[in-house]
Amino acid sequence: RSPKRRSKAGRRSRSPRGRRSRSPHPAAVRVKQERDDHCRRGNEERKQRYPSEQEHRRERSGDRDRHRDHADRKRNSSERPGVRGHERERDAQNIRELQAEREFYNERRREHRQNNGSSGGDQNPELRHSDNKPKEKAPVNKEKPSFELSGALLEDTNTFRGVVIKYSEPPEARIPKKRWRLYPFKNDEFLPVMYIHRQSAYLLGRHRRIADIPIDHPSCSKQHAVFQYRLVEYTRADGTVGRRVRPYIIDLGSGNGTFLNNQRIEPQRYYELKEKDVLKFGFSSREYVLLHESSDKSEANAKDDDDEEKEEESDS
């Protein structure tokens, strides 16, 4: 063999026929197309089967967008200088009002302590602290403490038929078991007996709207005196201590006074009454004799006899 032929035989052919085809196999192309068609049909069926889920997703995305826009607008509005300045001014005004109210109440407490004039003020740390503070207005004239009854406490609690009563019953007030009576006398006029055992207290005065025992004489006050029953202690003969209900009379600061057995009594003070005591009010000529159901009424009868004799003498 010649070398020229060997070289030609060993050389690779470059013709198209000798080359291997690189195009896909028709079966592979068909499989791929079937796979794509299957996926597309599955997506379409899923969309047709679950349309509400798609709508729900779209609505959720729309809600998120709306919330985001609202938050952005709120943030932008709060960042504006005018709104923040208005809020700061309002807060400062509220703080000033609270401080003014606190100073007002502190001033009232200081005035209350000064009016009371309490001796134990040095022992209170709060009082020392308030005294150390500089006072804005120093009192020029200090009022002296008044220990008289102002009647302010009785205005709401001791009102009867729209009238404020000057008197309030003590805690030892009781209704008596003994049947006490008042026998009134006025010269030659016969007056009915007054039964005064059904209540613990009887108000005497010219104010008929509230008086239990009215007194019509012009020298008497509207609220003249009070007939009060009180539970008091007493010592028995054997030395033991007992308790019993006794009648008392108290004058309510009347202008012309109350008289017990022709002696004027002091106002705002209890006086114990005994059987056969005689009471008079102001310049009235009426006399009230205190008796009970088991007492001797001879004096009352004697008084009636004297009145009858005076009537006979006057007629003669």
Residue 308, domain member (yes or no): no
Report whether pLDDT(314) > 50: no
Residues 6+ apart with CB under 8 A from 247: 176, 180, 227, 228, 229, 272, 273, 290
Among 3-7, 168-172, 249-253, 287-291, whose mean pLDDT is lowest?
3-7
CA distances from 206 to 94, 189, 226, 252, 267 (A): 57, 20, 12, 13, 17
Per-residue pLDDT of 84-96, as tens digits, reads 677 788 888 889 8
Residue 181, domain member (yes or no): yes
Residue 289, domain member (yes or no): yes
Residue 105, domain member (yes or no): no
Residues 6+ apart with CB under 8 A from 172: 230, 231, 232
Residue 121, domain member (yes or no): no
Q: 11 or 97: whose pLDDT is higher? A: 97
Residue 241, domain member (yes or no): yes
Rounded distance, CA 282 to CA 178, Å? 28
Confidence of residue 2 (pLDDT cuts 50, 70, 90): low
> Do the Cβ atoms of 252 and 220 come closer than 8 Å?
no
In the chain, how many domains are there?
1
Q: 44 or 259: whose pLDDT is higher? A: 259
Tell me the range of 2-16, 69-83, 139-153, 167-181 where mean pLDDT is highest. Answer: 167-181
Q: What burial class does residue 90 get, using C-beta atoms within 10 Å of its C-beta: 0-12 exposed, 13-18 middle, 19+ buried?
A: exposed
Residues 6+ apart with CB under 8 A from 182: 193, 194, 196, 213, 279, 288, 289, 290, 291
pLDDT computed for residue 293 by the predictor: 83
Q: For the residues 65-76, what does the mean pLDDT come to?
A: 76
Q: What burial class does residue 210 get, using C-beta atoms within 10 Å of its C-beta: 0-12 exposed, 13-18 middle, 19+ buried?
A: middle
Residue 11, domain member (yes or no): no
Amino acid at 120: G
Q: What is the mean pLDDT of the chain?
A: 76
What SS3 class is residue 288? strand
Q: What burial class does residue 225 get, using C-beta atoms within 10 Å of its C-beta: 0-12 exposed, 13-18 middle, 19+ buried?
A: buried
pLDDT computed for residue 311 by the predictor: 41
Among 3-7, 206-210, 293-297, whose mean pLDDT is lowest?
3-7
271 is in which domain, residue-wise? 175-297
Report whether pLDDT(129) > 90: no
Rounded distance, CA 248 to CA 226, Å? 8
Residue 103, domain member (yes or no): no
Rounded distance, CA 204 to CA 224, Å? 6
**Can you give the CATH number for the domain in which 240 is found?**
2.60.200.20
pLDDT computed for residue 309 by the predictor: 44
Rounded distance, CA 276 to CA 43, Å? 122
Per-residue pLDDT of 180-227, as tens digits, reads 999 998 877 778 899 999 999 999 999 888 889 999 899 999 999 999
Closest CA to 227 of 211, 258, 249: 249
Name residue, tokens 């106002």: 267
Q: Is the pTM of this model over 0.85?
A: no
Please name every residue paired with 235 in a beta bridge, in sequence order, or none if there are none. Answer: 241
Rounded distance, CA 109 to CA 112, Å? 5
Report whether pLDDT(30) > 60: yes
